[in-house]
Amino acid sequence: MTRKRRMWIFGIGALLLIAAGVTIPLWLLGSIRSTTATSPDEATCTVTRGDLRQTLVVYGDVAPKQEYTFTFDGDRVNEVLVDVGQRVDEGQVLVELDRRQLELSLLQTERSLKEAEAEGVPSTIREKELQYEIAQANYEDATLRAPFAGVITRMTQPTSSSGDWSLRLIDTSELYIEATVDQLDAPSVAAGQIAEAIVEPLPDQTWTVEVVEVGGMATASGSSTAVSVTAKLPEADPRILVGYTAEMEIITASATDVLIVPITCLQEHPRGWMVIKILGEERTPAQVTVGALSDQYAEITSGLEEGDVILLNSSVAPASRADDTDGEQSETMRQRMQGGTPPSGAFPGGAP
């Protein structure tokens, strides 16, 4: 049997399998050129030039610039001068502790220092100076002052007088969003990237934030491994409270005036990504290289030219095409390309 006759019989067999609903891998189709015309219900698209941006959605919480927690003995409390929710200035007195014992120690070390100075022995003088400095610092520490301006957010009082009290102060002069990103997506996130943020209790407004820090290590988070990401809000809006949940869409890559095609035109292949080119009445598999991705489009860096006509939804068989929406196909394809998994649910609170 001649090579031409074998290829003719092989091509006829492949078409019969397609008519019977059998899917043939692209690597096999790549060895033949089908002369079957595009059927009326099969849509096509033309390769064009355009702009796109690749984004990554992450979820986190609003965090303050800094925070400090005071812990002190309950049996030493003389007076608490602040309440939860109160704003305080830097250096403002928050708590006064009993300082009688500390005052006694300060007076004793002061007297010892004067006696040492009268004797004139340098080593003894230095020893008494250090004791006096320590006693003086302890005496001053009995007055708890705010190390920075902020808000008192929590005060814990023990049930017994001998237990420890705690007082939490946060600095809201700057606000941040602390989130986590899956380890597979972490390499695409970097400081300086811009993101659009939505705070759950304020879903009608969007804030442009900047990524300022990406964690230096990955940690276990449920069944996956994640890396921390911190972004800074442009201003400390008083409507945004520390602890609010937030969604960030980070722009991880962008491309301008590049060849783009709908994601649904692409089909996965052991050697990469492929599309079906339409040349007259012929369909020809073509391997392509994919660059940046958006929710619906992919940048093509090689394998196609502007004006090429390709089959739309080439990764979905005609019989099942009506069962999937374009949005579901696009999101699934995008996640597969980026190495991640689609989110299990929508953003809480109904954010768009």
Phi-psi region of 299 (alpha: psi -120 to 50; beta: other; left: phi over 0): beta
- pLDDT tens digit string along 260-279? 999 889 988 888 899 999 98
CB 64 within 8 A of CB 281: no
Checking if the pLDDT of 208 tops 80, the result is yes
Checking if the pLDDT of 232 tops 90, the result is yes
Share of the chain above pLDDT 70, in %: 76
Checking if the pLDDT of 332 tops 80, the result is no
Instruction: Specify the higher pLDDT residue, 7 or 319.
Output: 7
- pLDDT tens digit string along 21-67? 444 343 333 333 333 444 555 788 899 999 988 889 999 999 999 99
Checking if the pLDDT of 136 tops 90, the result is yes
Q: Give the pLDDT of residue 314.
A: 60
DSSP string computed for 215-271: EEEEEEETTEEEEEEEEE-SS--TTPPTT-EEEEEEEEEEEEEEEEEEGGG-EEETT
Q: Give the pLDDT of residue 61.
A: 96
Q: Tell me the mean pLDDT in the region 296-304.
A: 91
Q: Give the pLDDT of residue 280.
A: 83
C-alpha–C-alpha distance, residues 187 and 27, integer Å:
31
Checking if the pLDDT of 298 tops 70, the result is yes
- pLDDT tens digit string along 169-187? 999 999 999 999 999 999 9
Give me the chain's average pLDDT, please.
80
